[in-house]
Amino acid sequence: MAEPFNHSSADAVSAPVQGGTPKADEQLRAIVARIERLEEEKKALMADIKEVYDEAKGNGFDVKVLRQVIRIRKQDRQERMEMEAVLETYLGALGDL
């Protein structure tokens, strides 16, 4: 059975690509560095979003509903209307309306 890949990010950045050129190695290092930087930015943004939800909760808003509002607002209006129509059909068929 193959060993799981278990290298640290430092190992991955310093190891050359098999058969790669120095230019390809440098491009790979730059790509990995950019992805790592973006992951850190994403982590910071997620913490900021959590703070806003906590603030909303502290002001008496229902965070679960607020998350649903955000999800709905991301959808295309026509797509959302079609989904709501299907939802009403399904709930009506189940006698839940």
Tell whether 83 is covered by a domain: yes
Instruction: Give DSSP secondary structure letters for 24-83.
Output: HHHHHHHHHHHHHHHHHHHHHHHHHHHHHHHHHHHTT--HHHHHHHHHHHHS-HHHHHHH
Shared domain for 57 and 68, answered yes or no, is no
CA distance 53 to 62: 9
With cut-offs at 50, 70 and 90, classify the pLDDT of residue 92: very high
pLDDT tens per residue across span 32-55: 999 999 999 999 999 999 999 999
Shared domain for 57 and 74, answered yes or no, is no
Q: At which residue do the structure tokens 């939800």 appear?
A: 53
Global pTM value: 0.63
Average the pLDDT over 74-95 and give the result.
Answer: 95
Shared domain for 34 and 57, answered yes or no, is yes
pLDDT at residue 19 tops 70: no
The residue segments making up the domain with residue 91 are: 62-96
Average pLDDT over the chain reads 87
